[in-house]
Amino acid sequence: MRFYTKQHRHYCGIDLHARSMYVCILDQAGEVLVHRNVKACPEAFLEIVAPYREDLVVAVECIFTWYWLADLCAEEKLAFVLGHALYMGAIHGGKAKNDKIDSLKIATLLRGGTIPQAYVYPAGMRATRDLLRRRLHFVRKSIALDVALVDRYDDLIQELELYLVRKAKIEEPQGFQLLRSIPGVGKVLAMTILYEIHDIHRFDRVQQFASYARLVRCAKESAGKKLGTGGKKIGNVHLKWAFSEAAVLFLRHEARGKTLVARLEKKHGKGKALSILAHKIGRAAYHMLVRGRPFELEKFMATA
């Protein structure tokens, strides 16, 4: 969990919705300077923060409406923090909850240096990533719900894939080719991994990346006793899916992978064996992108 700890003169917490937003601005001493509901639009935001722009930081919870506010703060040279929704819910949970209370809590967490950060994905590649996620939504949709849409969906998916491949080859040509060197990883999996990561160097260690991709579970202990694992929903679900698919496809394309999984099955069972393989492929992908080198099967099997 990463916290935003920089000190500022003014702290702005916003409970953001599609049409409205509750804005709370605190000073360094914690005094409330502004606390009111306004329309969710650039004009209203700039007007309400205008008297406090000197050394101002703005924070909002990571929900689907945050893009425009992040882009506006970037244009206006205002510090912006995207709060991790799941961690924030655990930190500032309480009996009473409404927009006014939530905005104050966000501003208070920001001022106190305890607001957990989520990654602010760059605007330039955001549309491609969202389109790729939409493509996955189309693919997963149950065909039984409406058989008449099958042919149309096929056309849409093919058009989306052609567009996405062209974008990937322009925006991230090296990473795209590197990931495709993993046995079984095709265009869609390579693009999913690539665009969900964006910048591999934002992860200092391979363990940090594996945790973000939901490839490991965090152990819970108390008084020396193991109480199971936690954090199943924290991390990137799209990377979890991609590496799980990559593990299954790896077995189809690489005979030695079957020998490896068979050995793991004897010790851990089939389900956990595939999870271990997905974890190893995720670690390999991290090192490939960091070092700029393609997949090395001999080295992979030796370390596995």
Q: Output b/e per residue, 208-243; b: 16+ Cβ within 10 A.
A: ebbbbbbbbeeeeeeeeeeeeeeeeebbbebbbbbb
| Alpha-carbon gap, residue 108 to 112, rounded angstroms | 6
The span from the CA of 199 to the CA of 81, in Å, is 18
Backbone φ, ψ for residue 113 (5° rounding):
75, 25
In-domain check, residue 124: no
pLDDT recorded at residue 69: 96
Q: Count, in order, helices (H) and strands (E) of the chain.
A: 13, 9
pLDDT of residue 219: 61
Alpha-carbon Rg for the chain, nearest whole angstrom, is 22
81, β-bridge pairs: 59
Domain end residue (candidates: 90, 116, 142): 116
pLDDT on residue 154 = 82
Tokens of residue 281, six digits = 């492929």
The domain in which residue 92 lies consists of 3-116
**What pLDDT, on a 0 to 100 scale, did the predictor assign at position 63?**
83
Domain C-terminal end among 71, 96, 116: 116
Q: For each of the chain's 304 residues, which pLDDT tens digit applies?
A: 789 999 999 999 999 999 999 999 999 999 999 999 999 999 999 999 999 999 999 999 988 889 999 999 999 999 999 999 888 876 666 656 788 888 998 999 999 888 888 889 999 899 999 999 888 877 777 555 666 677 777 888 889 899 999 999 999 999 999 999 999 999 999 999 999 999 999 999 999 999 999 998 766 655 566 655 666 778 999 999 999 999 999 999 998 888 889 999 998 888 899 999 999 999 999 999 999 999 999 999 987 6
| pLDDT tens digits, one per residue of 6-18 | 999 999 999 999 9
Q: Identify whether 142 is part of a domain.
A: no
Q: Does pTM top 0.85 for this prediction?
A: no
Q: Please report the pLDDT score of residue 151 as a whole number.
A: 75
Residue from 245, 186, 194 nearest 215 by CA = 245
Domain for residue 209, yes or no?
yes
- Residue 219 falls inside a structural domain: yes
Examine the domain organization and report whether 111 and 179 are in the same domain.
no
For the chain, strand residue ranges (E) read 3-4, 10-16, 20-27, 32-39, 56-61, 79-83, 115-116, 218-222, 225-230
Residue 226 lies in a domain: yes
Q: What total of structural domains would you count in the chain?
A: 2
